């Protein structure tokens, strides 16, 4: 079936569909990861976006039920150079195309993804429409222009859990559970929960709309604000919750969670030209001077110049564009990172941060006692 990806600036890409048919709108971005397409598809942070994979062959190892980061895919569309109809992997349970059909996700193959990526790098991420039912180029460009985009839109409400739940999976032998952590689900990836469990945390996941008072009633040792999609400034209720928890208990923020903290501290956020999406983003730890490779997926960032340097210390920066990648409060037990220490997919260089969160909670408990 023929398919068209039309960008709001008039750029057109024609290809063939795989997956579901229909029409979808979203901001088109590119991801530089070579593997991990299933984890990318199921990352709730991609709600509202059409994802282009820069690696040319996608689908060759199929799909399985274990390598997911949420209960379903959240991307609006999936763009690849070549879709492999043959899935060769002992772990595979179905093809990528069937998985997309099953979850009503549009896919398009056969386009020049290198040209599309270079165009996004030059012009910036932009609104787009992916369609198999309307092949009129002018009409599609108009639809893309008139679509809502991401700025000012609250997408967290569309991906957060409906009610609280305790994360219960089989723990590694010898795991000792000592800390109770509440995770505010703004679009949390399962591997964040797995990593908290790995370092001995009992994990309670709550909807993003949960108030600070309700979180404190659970009596946690710490709170983690998770990753999530869209414009952070539009998620006012989470910003308010973050503000009310500052100074009351240890807080760890990841990706959108860092942006929530930045706004709660009185800072500002802004939209990046084409964002950071992939498993090869270099980050420098300013305390140690060491660099490591990180997994990232965000289109917005905290403006480091808007933060009060008397209270906030910048801990990490992106070595590609010098944007803010980490911060901590100088007096309170609070820190955050813009990248994804849980990986999935990608390198595990930053997983030590989950242990650091546990150490921060232990230190805070010792002070209280």
Residue positions forming the annotated binding site for L-glutamine? 45, 228, 230, 256, 259, 297, 299-300
Residue (of 309, 255, 313) closest to 281 by Cα position: 255
301 noted as active-site residue: no
Q: Are 324 and 312 in contact (CB under 8 A)?
A: no
User: Is 119 tagged catalytic?
Assistant: no
Based on the residue annotation, tell me whether 255 is a catalytic residue of this protein: yes
CA R_g for the chain: 20
Q: Which of 255, 277, 301, 325 is catalytic?
A: 255
Tell me the C-alpha distance between 130 and 139, whole Å. 12
- In the set 119, 276, 277, 340, the catalytic residue is 340
The candidate with the shortest Cα–Cα distance to 41, out of 129, 124, 101, is 101
With tokens 């723990």, the residue in question is 171
Q: How far apart are the first and last CA of the chain?
A: 66
152: left (phi over 0), alpha (psi -120 to 50) or beta: left
Q: Which residues are annotated as a binding site?
A: 45, 228, 230, 256, 259, 297, 299-300
Among 8, 39, 109, 342, the one annotated catalytic? 342
* Tokens 């010098």 belong to residue: 322
Collapsing DSSP to helix, strand or coil, 94 comes out as strand
Q: Are 322 and 282 in contact (CB under 8 A)?
A: no
User: Per the structure block, which two tokens stand in for 338?
Assistant: 């813009």
Beta bridge partners of 127: 27
Cβ proximity of 192 and 183 under 8 Å? yes
| Cα 334–Cα 235–Cα 352 angle in degrees, nearest 5 | 30
Q: In this structure, what DSSP letter does residue 217 have?
A: H
Report the alpha-carbon distance of residue 317 to residue 333 in Å, rounded.
Answer: 20
Element at 181 (helix H, strand E)? strand 179-185
d(CA 13, CA 266): 42
The number of residues making up the chain comes to 369
| Cα–Cα distance measured from residue 49 to residue 151, given in angstroms and rounded to the nearest whole number | 12
Report the catalytic residues: 255, 340, 342
């Amino acid at each position: 079936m023929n398919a068209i990806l039309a960008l709001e600036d008039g750029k057109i890409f024609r290809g063939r569909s795989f997956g579901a048919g229909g029409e979808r709108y979203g901001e088109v971005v590119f991801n530089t990861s070579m593997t991990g397409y299933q984890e990318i598809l199921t990352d709730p942070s991609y709600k509202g976006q059409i994802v282009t994979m820069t690696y040319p062959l996608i689908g060759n190892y199929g799909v399985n039920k274990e390598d997911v980061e949420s209960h379903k895919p959240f991307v609006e569309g999936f763009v690849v150079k070549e879709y492999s109809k043959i899935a060769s992997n002992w772990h595979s349970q179905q093809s990528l195309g069937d998985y997309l059909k099953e979850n009503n996700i549009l896919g398009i193959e056969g386009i020049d993804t290198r040209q599309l990526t270079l165009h996004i790098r030059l012009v910036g991420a932009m609104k787009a429409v992916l369609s198999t039912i309307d092949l009129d180029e002018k009409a599609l460009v108009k639809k893309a222009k008139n679509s809502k985009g991401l700025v000012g839109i609250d997408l967290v409400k569309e991906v957060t859990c409906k009610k609280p739940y305790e994360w219960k999976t089989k723990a590694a032998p010898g795991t000792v559970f000592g800390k109770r952590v509440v995770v505010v689900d703004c679009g949390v990836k399962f591997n964040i929960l797995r990593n908290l469990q790995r370092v001995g945390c009992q994990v309670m996941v709550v909807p993003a709309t949960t108030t600070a008072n309700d979180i404190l009633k659970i009596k946690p040792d710490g709170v983690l604000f998770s990753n999530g999609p869209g414009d952070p400034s539009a998620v006012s209720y989470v910003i308010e919750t973050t503000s009310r928890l500052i100074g009351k208990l240890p807080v760890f923020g990841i990706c959108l969670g860092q942006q929530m903290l930045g706004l709660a501290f009185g800072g500002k956020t802004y939209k990046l030209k084409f964002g950071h999406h992939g498993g090869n983003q270099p980050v420098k730890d300013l305390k140690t001077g060491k660099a490591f490779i990180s997994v990232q997926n965000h289109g917005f960032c905290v403006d480091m110049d808007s933060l009060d340097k008397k209270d906030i210390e910048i801990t990490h920066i992106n070595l590609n564009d010098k944007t803010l990648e980490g911060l901590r409060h100088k007096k309170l037990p609070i820190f955050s990172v813009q990248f994804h220490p849980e990986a999935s997919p990608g390198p595990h260089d930053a997983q030590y941060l989950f242990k650091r969160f546990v150490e921060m909670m232990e230190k805070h408990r010792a002070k209280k006692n």
